[in-house]
Amino acid sequence: MRMKRALYILLVLFLMSSCISQKKIWLMQDQKAQTQTEFMNPQKEAYTVKTGDRLFIKVYSSDKQTSKFFQTDLPNFMNSTYQYINSYPIDPDGYLNFSFIEKIKVEGLTVREVEKALQETLNEYFKEVTVVVKLVNFQVTVLGEVNSEGKYTINEERLNLLQAIALSGGIKEFGDRRNVSLIRQTKTGSQVHYIDLTDKAILESDLYYIQPGDVIYVKSMKTKSFAYEKMPYSVLLSTLAVIASLVAILK
* pLDDT < 50: residue spans in the chain: 22, 25-26, 28, 229
For 22-34+138-220, CATH gives 3.10.560.10
Within the chain, all domains assigned CATH 3.10.560.10 are found at: 22-34+138-220
- Structural contact between residues 173 and 146, judged by C-beta atoms closer than 8 angstroms: no
pLDDT of residue 91: 93
pLDDT of residue 114: 95
Is residue 22 packed enough to be buried (19+ CB in 10 Å), middle (13-18) or exposed (0-12)? exposed
Distance of alpha carbon 67 from alpha carbon 180, whole angstroms: 48
Q: Is the pTM of this model over 0.95?
A: no
pLDDT of residue 149: 95
> Candidates 3.30.479.10, 2.30.42.10, 3.30.1950.10, 3.40.50.10780; correct CATH number of 54-135?
3.30.1950.10
Separation in Å, CA 197 to CA 41, 45, 107, 135, 187: 16, 22, 33, 28, 27
pLDDT of residue 22: 47
Of 38, 26, 89, 17, the residue nearest 204 (C-alpha): 38
The alpha carbon of 209 is separated from its chain's Cα centroid by a whole number of angstroms, namely: 9
Within the chain, all domains assigned CATH 3.30.1950.10 are found at: 54-135
Is residue 216 packed enough to be buried (19+ CB in 10 Å), middle (13-18) or exposed (0-12)? buried
